[in-house]
Amino acid sequence: MRIGLVVHPTRDVQGPLAALRHCAGEQDVEFVQVPVHGQQQEVAPFGEIETCAVVMAIGGDGTALAAVRVAAPQGLPVLAVACGSLGVLTGVDAQEIRSAVERFERGDWHPRSLPALELECADGERFTAYNDMAIVRRGAGQVRVLARVDGNLYARLAGDGCIVSTPVGSSAYALAAGGPLLVPGCGSYVLTPLSSHGGSIPPLVLGGGDRLQIELRASRGGGRLEIDGQLAAEEARSMDIRLRPEAATLVTFEGEEPFLAGLRRRGLIGDSPRILADDARSS
């Protein structure tokens, strides 16, 4: 079995790599590094992703997203290993890497489908976002955005821009901007305005079959387009957005931490202080 590696660009990954090399020595397993954008660490010989059975990401959720971007077009699953704290996508601790490889090789794993946003810009250029896409103002002045759902006007906003997120991405930038959490598998996606200048424009949850149209109006500074946290275009354009429900596959195992439990552990969800005070009095 050949494993394709994608590693964090700067984090120390020698511990997980040592465990993986031990695996390769004990089993009929080899690994190669697959090229990704922004790669800075060279940890193994480079190889063709088409020859791999699985792509392993070692790092955080950003590394897992980089692995998904190269694995999904090839129809390959991603085994995301956390080099640090567990995240939304990285469900396997680095200390469990040998067990994870063994379980994958014998088929003791479950596929978790990830949706993606399919973007088609007015000039015909296409992008895919597995976490979120954001239109963010580039400089002075406000970005002016008009949003329609299936051709029906939702809102016109002037402000810092907007974010469109998948269910997984709803726990990232969109949550920080005041958007709602979507549970994985809900089949929806969400539009979250960024610091709108006046008006009443709440975040909007869209059904999986809805088509979102974003139209950019002239503004002084203009706006840039970010895909999964990376700059995709210096100048954002008007676009149509759809949700593709099964765009990528993550490797999961029995006993992995549930989505909401992970958010609570990381402090992204916190209980009301009054509830905590009640707990303290009763303990």
List, in order of start, the domains of the chain with CATH numbers: 2-109+253-273 (3.40.50.10330), 115-246 (2.60.200.30)
Is the pLDDT at 218 greater than 70? The verdict is no
Pairwise CA distance, residues 254 & 257, whole Å: 9
Return all residues near 114 (Cβ < 8 A) that are at least 6 apart. 68, 130, 166, 168, 246, 247, 248, 249, 250
Query: What pLDDT score does 193 carry?
Result: 95
Return all residues near 21 (Cβ < 8 A) that are at least 6 apart. none
With contact defined as beta carbons under 8 Å apart, do 4 and 29 qualify?
no
Query: What pLDDT score does 153 carry?
Result: 97
Phi and psi (nearest 5°) for 58? -120, 110
Query: What pLDDT score does 210 carry?
Result: 97
Check 12, 28, 61, 150 and give the catalytic one.
61
Encode 189-247 in three state secondary structure. EEEEEEEECCCCCCCEEEECCCCEEEEEECCCCCEEEEECCEEEECCCCCEEEEEEEEE
Pairwise CA distance, residues 224 & 169, whole Å: 19
Mean pLDDT of the chain: 91
With contact defined as beta carbons under 8 Å apart, do 7 and 33 qualify?
yes
249 half-sphere exposure, CB direction, 13 A CA radius = 13
Is the pLDDT at 42 greater than 90? The verdict is no
Is the pLDDT at 118 greater than 70? The verdict is yes
Instruction: Respond yes or no: is residue 61 known to be catalytic.
Output: yes
Pairwise CA distance, residues 79 & 250, whole Å: 6
Q: What tens digit of pLDDT does each residue of 249-261 get?
A: 999 999 888 999 9
